[in-house]
Amino acid sequence: MDSAVFGYIRVSQAEGEGGLNTQRRILNGYGLRDDRIFTDIASGRTMRRPSWKQLQDRLHPGDVVVVPRLDRLARNLSEGLRTVEELHGRGIRIRSLAESLDTGDDSPTARLMLHLLLSLAEWERDTIRDRIRAGVDRAAAEGRTGGRKPAVEGQRLKDLEAYLATGATVAAAARNFRVSRPVARAVKNGTYPGQS
């Protein structure tokens, strides 16, 4: 059986789908067609991902999996190393374009680079998580519960309520108070956060 080359891209839920387009373009530039690229929107902390599982089931000895960066494969040192070892045992290589790393290179330097890059990916994930947690804690200490700042609040909210009570339309209220129609409609219906 001839060896095949597949691509794998991943973003987390927090990153959203925009990053997938950039990663796909990188792999397309490498020569991979879209039908050879497997995509997940999932955390890099675990390898339990639907498209990754489909790709693993399709791989045969001699195949190569290309990723734009190693952290797209894994952001967990132990999971990443276990995955690379399992694939290596099956005769399958991972090639990371950004780091010019190929797991088929079994040299001590290549193994060191693999460990370092996966360690850095895990460190970055943990650092991001800690920053988010610190931001949430800081907001809670300041009495904020997260989410966007209200579009209208305080006296301005009372003025908008009074304006709508005169029979003004939602469209007119939105235009005059420079808020969206859904905000004006919620205020009119008495369902906007902060209304008493």
Per-domain residue ranges for the chain? Answer: 5-125, 154-189
User: What 3-state class would DSSP assign to 167?
Assistant: coil
Sequence-ordered alpha helix ranges (H) in the chain: 18-30, 50-58, 70-73, 77-89, 108-141, 154-165, 170-177, 181-189
CATH superfamily, region 5-125? Resolvase, N-terminal catalytic domain (3.40.50.1390)
Residues annotated as catalytic are: 12
Q: Are 5 and 32 in contact (CB under 8 A)?
A: yes
pLDDT tens string 142-170: 777 666 778 888 899 999 999 999 999 99
Indicate the DSSP class of residue 117: H
pLDDT tens string 52-83: 999 999 999 999 999 999 999 999 999 999 99
Q: Are 159 and 153 in contact (CB under 8 A)?
A: no
Which pLDDT score, from 0 to 100, does residue 14 have?
A: 67
